[in-house]
């Protein structure tokens, strides 16, 4: 019984020493990261993004799914309208 108490006492002392050493270790200096902030919110609202150049082909071109499933025709809706007129 006495040996178990001494064993727990030694383990406790070891844990206290390890905690003290870890708390006193020197941390490396923090790394400073510089990030580029392009525009403010007001500038972003005054200069709108060109939506047609970004999303213009979304509805005019066939998607890959339509092409593989056989839903894509060789004529788009715009070409069919020009043929019918």
Distance CA 76, CA 85 (A): 15
What are the pLDDT digits (tens) for 7-66? 999 999 999 999 988 888 887 788 988 888 777 778 877 887 788 888 877 777 777 776
pLDDT tens for 48-64 read 778 888 887 777 777 77
Max Cα distance, the chain (Å): 104
Other CB atoms within 10 Å distance of the CB of residue 72: 15
């Amino acid at each position: 019984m006495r040996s178990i108490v001494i064993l727990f006492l030694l383990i406790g002392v070891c844990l206290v020493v390890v905690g003290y050493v870890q708390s006193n270790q020197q941390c490396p200096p923090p790394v400073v990261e510089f990030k580029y902030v392009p525009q403010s919110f007001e500038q972003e609202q005054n200069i709108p993004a060109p939506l047609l150049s970004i999303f213009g082909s979304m509805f005019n071109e066939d998607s890959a799914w339509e092409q593989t499933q056989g839903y894509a025709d060789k004529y788009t809706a715009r070409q069919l309208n020009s043929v019918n007129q």
